[in-house]
Structure 1
Amino acid sequence: MRHAGPLACALLLSAIASGMALDAGAAKKKAATKAPAATGANACSNFYAYANSGWLKSNSLPAGTASVSAMEQLGARARQQQLDLLNAAMTAPQGNVQKLLGDFWASGLDEAAVESDGANPIAPLLGRINAIKKANDIPASIAALHQVGIPVAFNFGADVDLNDLSRHIGYFSQGGLGLPDPAYYTRIDAETRKLLGLYNGYVQKILVLTGTPADKAAAEAQEVIDLETRIAQASKPLVDLRAPRANYAPVAVASLRKTYRGLQLAEFLKAQGVKDDSVSIANPALFAQLDQLVASLKPAQWKTYLRWRVGDAMAPYMAKPWRDASFDFRNRVLAGEPTPPPRQQAVLDAINLAAGPMLGHEYVARYLSAGTRARAEEIATNVRKALDDAIATDPRLGEQAKTEAKAKIAALKIEIGAPRRDLDYSVQPMGRGSFGSNMLIASTWHHREEMKRIGRGNADRRWDVLPQQPALAYDIAQNRLIVSAAVLQPPVLDLGTDMATQYGAFGALVGRELSHAVDGKGRLVDAKAEVRDWWTPAESGAWSALGNRIAAQYAAYPLPVVGTRINGNQVREVAIADQAGVELAWLAFNAAQPGASKESRQAFFTGWARLWPQQLTREAATQRAASGIYAPGQWRTNGPLSNLEGFGEAFGCRAGTAMQVKADQRTVLWPTALAGPPSTRK
């Protein structure tokens, strides 16, 4: 089912997946520590092509595939590891969590059992809905469906309290619609009217499957759309949901009982196990409308709507008529997907949705070794130290800002593999007979654990990524570096390579994320986790000037395949972070190995380059150029390195060549920290 998120906290999480994988041809790990032999490309003219010549030659783009990249290869590897884990748990589970996962997996793969199960998984939910007799029964049914992970009428979830980043509160937010945009219900253009017609047909199919007589399906579908239209009319446009502060409005829980008597929001919170003293309701007009609708609409209309929402949420996990109806509208019409994914992939996606932390718990135990974890923590700690040292030489910051930045870096936490705090895995036994029922069991558990995030002292309880997802991110709200278990694989971190390669790859990715603690977004949260801007206007102006220089640098780069140039302003934030990451990793590496050989220094830069190889069709390249915030792999490699004097020294590149910008034209964040020969840098 679809777990709806609460507040879209763009300010509060900067999570950029940075996982990449080596090409299959790199069989001898130690060979990766050496710079490749030149095959048509020169290190000083195009280091990306030089360092990745083997990968680019052996990874041509398959027919019908839009892109292939080292990042996508690592994602595929992590998915295969999850499949292997689940297969092992199905045949020989080790412990209670694996028993749950193995049964869940087996029930999903047993298509014959899924088909024979029919509507049985949701029969208890439909029975409760059908038992509604009066308006006072409706709120309790809404609360019960939220408990099993089916949000109806509205969304409710945990997110950071913008007035106190050390805690989470519950967010009541808009939702309850079958269409992704409230505007679809009120626009009158021909295209939208056509979409509504297709939607009406889909609603009818689901209602019939939930028990509506075929001759009453059209009328009941219209009742659903009428109720959803009323909700949509009181909902905010999607663009208005992008500003965190505009969607944060804390109110006392004690006031809810009086304000929303019909909707019974105080009782709703009790049913979810929430005992906090405040919640956020940023659109009280919507909840006033819902409160009024509970009393004014006939219970029969609410029953029809609730049956529809249950059927729609559970359709992808039930028998073929349900799946086909859901896929035809949600995937073909709305998402443009031509065919359903293979069964294994669909079941894996479902398990990650409903029981992702369970799978993550076992993934860490199986795939993250103690040695890899220790090395990751060692490098990350050294890069954090390099950032602390670099701040002292930052030409843009005054003394007060430097003091605040250093205090923030000192408080910054590093979490490797999985969240520090584990979850409660006590769950109702699943069994192998009903995949749909297992989805509800897992989703109920997931919702229970999510509700535990609400309240004081729980802000660091969870990550917003799963351990089995390749991710490396800075969490601005909790001032912590998040490194998932899945990202700690070659070429991000390969213990079979030398330390230089490890710093150039993993260390640089750590540096780019840690730089967010003190950049244009990090400036909005101070060392005490208070939301405030601790930069002066002059410091802000200096940062903008840096961004302009980076944007101009990238705007001069041609886009491969497309035939135009990069939109420098579009990629500037990522480009700044890349530059920062390479600089910090270079500083950390030279501090750790001040007497590194020329070959090791070359291997550092090769480690960075081998994160970014990719092949794209013209269509994919054009699409990414139009809206993407990432420069093509060639320029993510060459852009930062061309600014570093150390790169030119390592490969003997003369100033003014493509890979060695002249000294007076270089853009670096910490020129003082980078000054001097490698043997003397601290």
Structure 2
Amino acid sequence: MPMQKPLAAALATCLVLALAAPDANGQRRRAPAQPAITACSDFYTFVNKDWLDANAVVSGTGSVSALGQLQQHTLLQQRAILDEAARSPRNDVQKLLGDFWASGIDEAAVERDGTQPIATLLSRIDAIRRARDIPPAIAALHQVGIPVAFNFGADLDLADLDRYIGYFTQGGIALPDPAFYTREDADARALLGRYTEYVEKILALTGTPQDKLKDEMAMVLDLETRLARASRPITSLRDPRANYALVPTADFAKQFRNLQLDQFLQAQGVTADQVSMAHVAYFTEVDNLVRTLRPGQWKTYLRYQIGNAMAPYLNQAFRDAHFSFHGRVLRGQSAPPQRDVQVLEAINRAAGPMLAREYVARYLPEATRARAEAIAGGVRDALARAVERSDWLSAEARAEAAAKLAGLRIEIGAPADDLDFSMQPMGRNSFGSNMLIAATWHHREEMRRIGRTNAQRRWGVQPQEPVLAYDIAHNRLVVSAAVLQAPVLDMEQDAAAQYGSFGALVGHELGRAVDAKGRLVDASGQIRTWWTPADEAAFGERANRLAAQYANYDYPAATALKVDGNLTREGNMADLAAVELALDAFEAAQADPDSAGYESFFRAWASLWREQLSPEAATEAASTQAQAPGKWRANGPLVNLPAFAKAFKCKAGNAMVRKTEEQVSIWRQAH
């Protein structure tokens, strides 16, 4: 039809002493003692040893991380809200959420419901008789959150980043890449073969007789293949500027006479004079297909699209068919999520803002919000000071960066949205019907965004997700309610630890306002590069040196693999900036901090990146992940900081100390 992070452990000296088994003569023989892990040899393991020992993974089981554990904790919190809402709702939104949740976890009711939730939609499609009946059916499916034939949604106007406009884009196919329909290689042909089996299953479940399955499957594949051939390559969709082209809507009635896009917009409640349509040829082809293909083929295609879209929310037969292809074949999953997880994901997808409202009210105390604002403000001030004293940014770039930081907003907890939570009442007997009710509400609210200059009242993420991110389009830091809890911002920890964890994550993201990414949008919100070539060269030189450092680090849990310094280059720079900025903010907030404060700060940073990877997961991550593994996210920045060596009395030659001439800095203040 939307960053996660942990806190410090107590400092403990860990001596590793291994004993060999008794020898043949019954004597106990001591194995060679392993060097003690110290703060100056491997700070990450020194701080996190107890957690690492308690969270081992075995071959083939993937990974576990403190950040992932936070994510799981927030899901339990969301479940608690829904359970309580189902038992004793206290307001209208809780009543909707409680009914939605109860209907989903009652599997017996879902089985009894069968195809009833989509019966009305299927009847609407069955009533198509002529070509002119097809466009209204397409519009009706879009209204309930089932986009067919093409996609239409609200997104930012690249010429005015505070305004939403409607975007017409290609779509209407179930495979993730249009090329899958036309490629001739063996892998693509095999995938298409599995897909045809899936199409037949969904058609059978939506009413196609057995003797007509092959013919109707061929109709679906033919129409989707025609759409795929008219589509642009998926790689061309990655640049938003290449997919932005304002066009007037006044001529749609004539330009797309068969597809009736003018009436489509009316059905969605959109009255805009302009929308974006960067690929007019695609819509011209869809317009032609409405005219030339038999209505019967469109009916089969639309019926299949309903079944495919709604399959995860219907009975077991639909869910098994959907998972067999979308889960096992496309995503490589071995088993579907548990039922309660599936239902929670569905609620977040269709009614996430409702759950967000209840989550923030329950789990974000005002004292936590105020503390987060204070720390984030301090880190922003630290970045402003760093920009002012920077010896590698040009005067022109420093002025633009200062202007950006002066206008930067910090938004804590939840967005100041303007949603209307009124919707059709839900019951507890039909999860599929409730999903359609919620999807219709969600679509209505999305359509209402179009034409409004209120983009800054919305977030691209949900408050119940652990997220801390810089929004480059609106020059703001977004801090979700879910991330403001232990271990990211533990209100029971001291200020030093809070700066080392939450403050560092703020620095990690705020640095992006003025780094190689932030340079693409200026202080007035215009898309342009405001760095000089000399600025880019200076930043690149630092990034290259840091990449070379990381390229010498062994990849934990993987056999004979090193960290790819170039793949992780951008992330490594952000991590270094994170600690530099948070440390400066901590020092500014704490008058003359003592050694214990510095130690607490650095321990908190190291504990953010606790993780265990299986050998298989580590091998895959080494070649695909744009972030370094946890050990080096922790240790990598610290070896470049004299303050770390001073805090733990590390000496030249220790693994956690780099020579002064080898150290890389971005924003660090010279002492």
The interval holding the TM-score normalised by the smaller chain is: over 0.9
Match of 1:485 in 2: 481
The residue identity in structure 2 corresponding to 1:359 is: L
Secondary structure of 2:275's aligned partner: strand
Aligned to 2:116: 120
Aligned to 2:321: 325
2:77 to 78, 81, 84: 81
Distance 1:33 1:73 in 2: 15
Structure 1 residues 462 and 273: CA distance shift in structure 2, 3 A: same
Counterpart of 1:633? 630
Do structure 1's residue 20 and structure 2's residue 20 form an aligned pair? no
Aligned to 2:561: 564
Partner of 2:51: 55
2:533 counterpart residue number = 537
Look up the match of 1:29: none
**More deviation, 505-514/235-244:** 235-244
- The CA deviation string for residues 42-83 of structure 1, in whole angstroms up to 9 with x for no partner, is 111111011112211222225752111111111111111111
Q: Which residue of 1 aligns with 2:593?
A: 596
**1:579-594 pair list within 5 angstroms:** 579-594=576-591
Give the letter aligned to residue 346 of structure 1: Q
**1:143 counterpart = 2:170:** no
The residue number in structure 2 matching 1:98 is 94
1:173 corresponds to which residue? Answer: 169
CA distance in 2, matches of 1:106, 1:64: 35
Q: SS in structure 1 opposite 2:389? A: coil
Corresponding residue of 1:198: 194
**1:35 equivalent in alignment to 2:35:** no
Amino acid at match of 1:172: F
- Which of these residues, 445, 448, 453, is aligned with residue 449 of structure 2? 453
Once structures 1 and 2 are overlaid, which stretch shifts more, 208-217 or 228-237? 208-217
Question: Secondary structure of the equivalent of 1:432?
Answer: coil
Deviates more, 1:456-465 or 1:210-219: 456-465
Equivalent residue letter for 2:596: E
Which amino acid is 2:598 matched to?
Answer: R
Correspondence for 1:462: 458
Residues of 2 paired with 1:594 and 1:154: CA distance? 60
State the secondary structure of the residue aligned to 1:160: strand
- Give 1:37 shift: 3.3
Aligned-partner Cα distance in 1 for 2:337–2:214: 31
CA contact (8 A) 1:655 1:663 kept: no
Corresponding residue for residue 428 of structure 2: 432
From 208, 230, 240, the counterpart of 1:244? 240
Cα distance between partner residues in 2 of 1:34 and 1:668: 29
- Which one-letter code corresponds to 2:219 in the other structure? E
- The structural deviation recorded for 1:249 is 1.6
Query: Contact 1:139–1:268 (CA<8 Å) still a contact in 2?
Result: yes
Aligned AA for 1:620?
A
Letter in structure 1 aligned against 2:670: A
- Where 1:456 maps in the other structure, the secondary structure is coil
Find the counterpart in structure 1 of residue 22 from structure 2.
none
Equivalent residue in structure 1 for 2:571, among 574, 586, 589: 574
1: distance between equivalents of 2:416 and 2:350?
21
Return the letter of the residue paired with 2:12: P
Q: Give, in whole Å, the separation in 2 of the partners of 1:121 and 1:670.
A: 57
Letter in 1 for 2:651: R
**Contact map agreement 1:247 1:282 (CA 8 A) in 2:** yes
Q: Per-residue deviation at 1:253? A: 1.9
Give how far 1:199 is off: 1.6
Give the 5 Å matches for 1:377-392.
377-392=373-388
Question: Which runs of structure 2 are paired with 1:402-441 in the superposition (5 Å)?
Answer: 402-441=398-437
Q: CA deviation at 1:442?
A: 0.5
Residue in structure 2 matched with residue 680 of structure 1 by the alignment: none
Q: Supply the AA of the counterpart residue of 2:13.
A: A
Give how far 1:90 is off. Answer: 0.7
Shift of 1:670: 2.4
User: Percent of pairs identical after alignment?
Assistant: 58
Determine if contact 2:9/2:607 at 8 Å carries over to the other structure. Answer: no
Q: Secondary structure at the match of 2:334?
A: coil
TM-score (norm: length of structure 2)? 0.95
Equivalent residue in structure 2 for 1:623, among 610, 616, 620: 620
Q: Which moved more, 1:361-370 or 1:662-671?
A: 662-671
Contact 2:9 2:47 (C-alpha < 8 Å) held by counterparts: no
Partner of 1:525: 521
Equivalent residue number for residue 675 of structure 1: 670
Supply the distance in 2 between the matched residues of 1:49 and 1:661 (Cα, whole angstroms): 18
Kept in 1, the 8 Å contact 2:113–2:430? The answer is: yes
TM-score, structure 1 length as denominator?
A: 0.93
Gaps of 5+ in 1: 4-16, 23-31, 677-682
Amino acid corresponding to residue 20 of structure 1 in structure 2: K
1:36, 1:394 → 2: CA distance? 38
User: Aligned-pair distance for 1:616?
Assistant: 0.7
Q: Write out per-residue CA displacement over residues 115-165 of structure 1, whole angstroms, 9 at most, x where no aligned residue.
A: 111111011111111111211111111111111100100111111111221
| 1:594 Cα deviation after fit | 2.4
Q: Which residue of 2 aligns with 1:347?
A: 343
- Is it true that 1:263 corresponds to 2:248 in the alignment? no
In 1, Cα distance between equivalents of 2:267 and 2:406: 41
Q: Secondary structure at the match of 1:363?
A: helix
Q: Which residue of 2 aligns with 1:27?
A: none
CA distance in 2, matches of 1:278, 1:413: 30
Cα deviation, 1:559-579, whole Å, max 9, x if unaligned, reads: 122222111110010110111
**Partner in structure 2 of residue 10 of structure 1:** none
Q: C-alpha displacement at 1:256, in angstroms?
A: 2.3
Q: Distance between the aligned counterparts of 1:100 and 1:179, measured in 2?
A: 33
Q: Is 2:30 aligned against 1:45?
A: no
Q: CA deviation at 1:285?
A: 1.2
Task: Give 1:34 shift.
Answer: 5.0
More divergent stretch after superposition (98-107 vs 561-570): 561-570
Instruction: Report the CA distance between 1:257 and its aligned residue.
Output: 2.5
Provide the rounded CA distance (Å) in 2 between the counterparts of 1:470 and 1:210: 38
Q: Give, in angstroms, the shift of residue 278 of structure 1.
A: 1.7
Question: Displacement, 1:422?
Answer: 4.1
Aligned to 2:103: 107
* Distance in 2 of aligned mates of 1:63 and 1:103: 41
Work out the CA distance in 1 between the residues paired with 2:270 and 2:382.
42
Question: Secondary structure of the equivalent of 1:353?
Answer: helix
* Corresponding residue SS for 1:570: coil
Whole-Å Cα distance in 2 between the matches of residues 559 and 546 of structure 1? Answer: 22
8 Å Cα contact 1:34/1:599 also seen in 2: no
Pick one of 184, 202, 209 that aligns with 2:205.
Answer: 209
Match of 2:658 among 647, 657, 661: 661
Distance across 1 between alignment mates of 2:109 and 2:95: 19
Cα root mean square deviation, aligned: 1.4
Q: Which residue of 2 aligns with 1:614?
A: 611
Give CA deviations for 1:265-288 in whole Å, capped at 9, x if unaligned. Answer: 122122112222221112111111
The alignment partner of 2:651 has SS state of coil
Q: Which runs of 5+ in 2 are unaligned?
A: 16-35
In the aligned structure 2, how far is the partner of 1:371 from the partner of 1:255?
55
CA apart distance, 1:202 = 1.5
Match of 1:300 in 2: 296
SS of 1:167's equivalent in the other structure is strand
The answer to whether the 8 Å contact 1:452/1:458 transfers is: no
Question: SS state of the match for residue 173, structure 1?
Answer: strand
Per the alignment, in what secondary structure is the counterpart of residue 520 of structure 1? coil
